[in-house]
Amino acid sequence: MRYKILGAFAALAAITACGDLTSINENPNGPGDVPPPSILPSVIQTLVSGVNGVNSLNIRGGGLWVQYYSEIQYRDEDKYIVRSGTSGGWGLYNGAAEDAQRMIEKGVTANAPNWAAVGRIMKSYTFSVMTDAMGDLPYSQAFKGDTVLHPAYDTQKSIYDSLFANLTLASSEIDLGAAAVGFPTGDLMYGGNLTKWGRFANSLRLRLAMHLTQVDPAKAQSEAAAAVTAGVFGSNTDNAQLMYLSSSPNRNPIYNDAQGRDDYGMSKTFVDSLLSWNDPRLPVFAQLNKDTIVANRRYQGLPNGLNDGEGTSLFYISRIGAFWRQTAAAPMHLLTYSEVLFLEAEAAERGWIGGSAATFYNNAIQASFAQYGITNAAAISAYLADPRVAYAGGAAGLTQIAYQKWASLFMQGMESWTEVRRTGIPAIVPGPRAVIASMPERLPYDDNESVLNKTNLDAAVAAQGFSAGNDITKPLWFTGRQ
């Protein structure tokens, strides 16, 4: 042992003498540097999975709380028992947000504006989700661990201002020239089509603008008008989506989860609503239950907010539609043409942009149908002719837009949760075992913040009027109800 110790010291001394001590931590088989085309796939996959996957802001958070789904076992979140980190909001710091920041920095250093532009778009999307989930966040001092160990929290308002600025810059700096450096590989969303990335930036800017209708209508109006002028989505081919593959490990996460687990069914609220409206998307969004008498099979949801074992036998509860649950290659969306049309419909109704609100609204509904391959002209015409659907305009029109957006944002639960908190439509009634009296208004901050960044956390909590970092009852700034 003595000789082994002496030998180790000798080896260490030799390395030190050569000035190469850090080389022992380098992987000789790993890349020393990774360019943005190699970073982008991870950003897209991490973001889509974190926002709209299974243990995500969608299924275990926002989508559950706007009552698209119900937990059929392990029902804590359905009763608003929310644990730090269970829905993945804070975890986006160490994944999509950090990698998007790397893309920006590498694009600036390499004088490759397209790399920086796409990085800005993905960073903006990621932080928009995070701030809409939690409120004030470390933002301007984030990702500076070499110099800032305890980052201060930026207000949600200042974060929004920065997101608008970054999306505007990203849209303007995209270079479509033949010699411009782009994404010949790695772009899982648009295949290197930078024109579509520009439309994504502008469409996201429009979404964020309309989030502010209740708290800063002047800002909402100016940003919405500018976004539409710059050019937003023009068809379903522009949808920001990840097309999964049929083979592992790149299969749709809803499909993957269903191969070995059965934790989520359809909410009675959503199923009953679509049944009442004769919505042709119901067979896409949900499956018939498994009644042993085939003729009796029907669409049936489970009421939200029950204890384990309560309610209808799980045998009779519809599961999430085969479009996702039985299709490995099903896409997952970040932002769609249908949503953009609904946003334009609202902006037009408010007089902020030109065009007919009714036309935008009707086209939005039809775009949602087309997104899921629904082409039955008779069924579509009947739906649009329903007096509850036919656009009324004014305040009633804004209510119709909000309801139809809720129906169309299925499987995009985070954005739906944001919209329901903003508009109050539909009115969400908590389940009988819910531990708070209304739908959660936010996700808690990560528990580690109270240990690693307590001073700044406490300041942010006090500034927003929360009772604690894990307070989920206090509305956020963007709702205008804080």
Q: Which residues contact 65 (CB under 8 A, 6 or more apart)?
A: 80, 413, 417, 428, 439, 440
Record the tokens describing residue 22, joined without a space.
């850090």
Record the tokens describing residue 23, joined without a space.
């080389």
> Parallel, antiparallel, or unpaired for β 240-243 and 331-335?
antiparallel
Task: Give the 3-state secondary structure of residue 241.
Answer: strand
pLDDT tens across the length of the chain (482 residues): 443 444 444 444 444 445 555 555 555 555 558 999 999 999 999 999 999 988 779 999 999 999 999 999 999 999 999 976 665 689 999 999 999 999 999 999 999 999 999 999 999 999 999 999 999 999 999 999 889 999 999 999 999 999 999 999 999 999 999 999 999 999 999 999 999 999 999 999 999 999 999 999 999 999 999 999 999 999 999 999 999 999 988 999 999 999 999 999 999 999 999 999 999 999 999 999 998 899 999 999 999 999 999 999 999 999 999 999 999 999 999 999 999 999 999 999 999 999 999 999 999 999 999 999 999 999 999 999 999 999 999 999 999 999 999 999 999 999 999 999 999 999 999 999 999 999 999 999 999 999 999 999 999 999 999 999 999 999 999 999 98
Q: Report how far residue 285's alpha carbon sits from residue 270's, in angstroms, rounded to the nearest whole number.
A: 10
Task: Give the 3-state secondary structure of residue 214.
Answer: coil
Widest CA span of the chain, in angstroms? 90
Task: Give the 3-state secondary structure of residue 320.
Answer: strand
Task: Give the 3-state secondary structure of residue 79.
Answer: helix
- What pLDDT is attached to residue 83? 74
Q: How many CB atoms lie within 10 A of CB 437?
A: 8
- What pLDDT is attached to residue 1? 41
- What pLDDT is attached to residue 249? 87
The number of residues in the chain equals 482
Q: Report how far residue 24's alpha carbon sits from residue 85's, in angstroms, rounded to the nearest whole number.
A: 34
